Chains A and B, each alone.
Chain A
């Protein structure tokens, strides 16, 4: 018997797995009919999930943890049995600010630490001359985007709480806000960075994958009760997602995937734009491109396996982001949101993750899930 599942998504490249699960027949093979509902805000995604208008959602990983803990605007226990992707975001600076960074460095920015140090000098100069602080646009208060910007700023000795400001900007408005000067930098997924570069409004300074190897970006989120009430359907969904993740990760399928995602009912953009992000080669400014094999990943390593240590990391980042002291009970509650038991039961997996450090920050403190306090202290010490 076919079972219908309603899934909410935001039109982004990292919604690839739910879209491919439906379009390539992976869900059908499991006896599932996936209805995909496009949404305009993460708040809608959260509210429609918690009030049962959706059975499952494409969700920002930090939002799933924050909602379960009651940080922010709702407190409902959610379950994350599957990770959808790692990375895929960039930090982009407005054209004028990028030029200033370039002048200080004597060449276009490449190394994240060097570019952050150059930014620090600009911020110091502005403080002396009494200019207003730089504002960064991020996609949501609880997002890996905000976390990545904070990490990058700290590389240059910039205090993310006192030296700059943050502003939430919905991705479709990001380029316009950069052009108007309301924000001077942003962290957002594709195609929005490329749009800024193409229109001359901004240039890409850092790939998210240059800050961390596999920070969890989007996840599959369910109401916690669904896991027990409807475990058979959820197991089928996870098997469909696993097959879709493999298919999406295979470079041989990227051209097809780009066309699929580009359709009007999904992202409604040019297939070429999607393909660039899938291949990890982006024009970063008017004259140069940059490539990263791991720019955006759907599968491999421990991306899909919902490692509770990643949830602990998300909690540590959320708490330090709100300048709260860490609380071990909260960290444990966060860890319980990620459900490897459900993943393993559905897929027959019995392997444990290989990585000692599940986040893989390329600079700064190594993440030790057993010692959150040491991590948070190292973070804030800079």
Chain B
């Protein structure tokens, strides 16, 4: 078997695919390719002729791939990593991270595990990044609403900025609600009363 297995990543998400590719290259895998175009999958896979295919579990194209492997004589027949039950823990881990792999028979097991572990790690990194980005976006949006509500209170009740803020925070604490919820209510009331 080849020293450098060729790895194909099938993922619709460009950013995630880039993160995985980088990770694999850093780990010394030179032959890493990526497909996002789903049309004519078989022809593209046949051209690349990979030893291991990594696919995102959210992709409905997994079912398409499975049939291709079943009937096609164009590609070497990769089998799902799930055929071998001996390493169920790492398979579960991969599935929970959202990744699955198909491996051409004959590839050394430790090598496959190394590649898969790397992909799982990178999938997790990506999920964390997406979460952080989402949190940052929400925080920014919340701050904007709070600023606007403060302005509304200042104008309506002739309060200072500090007083408006204290009033909102006290209301939030009394009602056991989040500050941003109170701010949203103020903004909404203002729009309706306009």
Contacts and interface: CB of A to CB of B under 8 A. Distances in A.
Interface residues of A, number: 27
Interface in B47-106: 57-71, 79-80, 82-83, 85, 88, 91-92, 95-96, 100
A47 B60 contact: no
Interface stretch (A35-43, A273-281, A328-336): A35-43
Contacts of B61: 41, 170
B67 A74 contact: no
Contact of B67 (A40, A51, A168, A182): A168
Secondary structure at chain B's binding surface: helix, strand, loop or mixed? helix
6 tightest Cβ-Cβ pairs between the two chains A and B: A170-B60, A168-B67, A73-B80, A141-B67, A41-B62, A43-B62
A72 interface: yes
B154 to A, nearest CB: 40
Contacts of A291: none
Given A47-B82, A75-B83, A40 B60 contact: yes
Given A43-B66, A170-B61, 7 more contacts: A41-B60, A41-B63, A44-B62, A73-B66, A73-B80, A141-B66, A166-B71
A375 interface: no
20 contacts: A40-B58, A40-B62, A42-B63, A43-B62, A43-B65, A44-B62, A44-B100, A47-B82, A51-B88, A51-B92, A53-B92, A73-B80, A74-B82, A140-B63, A141-B67, A167-B64, A168-B66, A170-B61, A172-B60, A173-B60
Interface of B: 39, 57-71, 79-80, 82-83, 85, 88, 91-92, 95-96, 100
B83 to A, nearest CB: 6
B82 A170 contact: no
Contacts of A73: 66, 69, 79-80, 82-83
A113 interface: no
Secondary structure at chain A's binding surface: helix, strand, loop or mixed? loop
A139 B66 CA distance: 11
Nearest to A74: B82
Contacts of A139: 63
Contacts of B70: 72, 141
A52 B71 CA distance: 29
Given A44-B57, A72-B70, A141-B70, A50 B82 contact: yes
Given A40-B59, A41-B59, A168 B64 contact: yes
B100 A74 contact: no
A326 interface: no
Interface string A78-110: 000000000000000000000000000000000
A74 B83 contact: yes
A170 B88 contact: no
A141 B65 CA distance: 10
Interface string A155-187: 000000000001111101100000000100000
A51 B59 contact: no
A41 B58 CA distance: 8
Given A41-B59, A41-B63, A172-B60, A53 B95 contact: yes
Nearest to B63: A41
Contacts of B65: 43
Nearest to B85: A76
A213 interface: no
Contacts of A75: 83
A166 B62 CA distance: 16
Interface string A10-44: 00000000000000000000000000000011111
B63 A51 contact: no
Interface in A42-58: 42-44, 47-48, 50-53
B58 A51 contact: no
B95 A51 contact: yes
A142 to B, nearest CB: 9
A238 B91 CA distance: 29
Nearest to B65: A43
A75 B82 CA distance: 9
A339 to B, nearest CB: 22
A170 B60 CA distance: 6
A167 B59 CA distance: 17
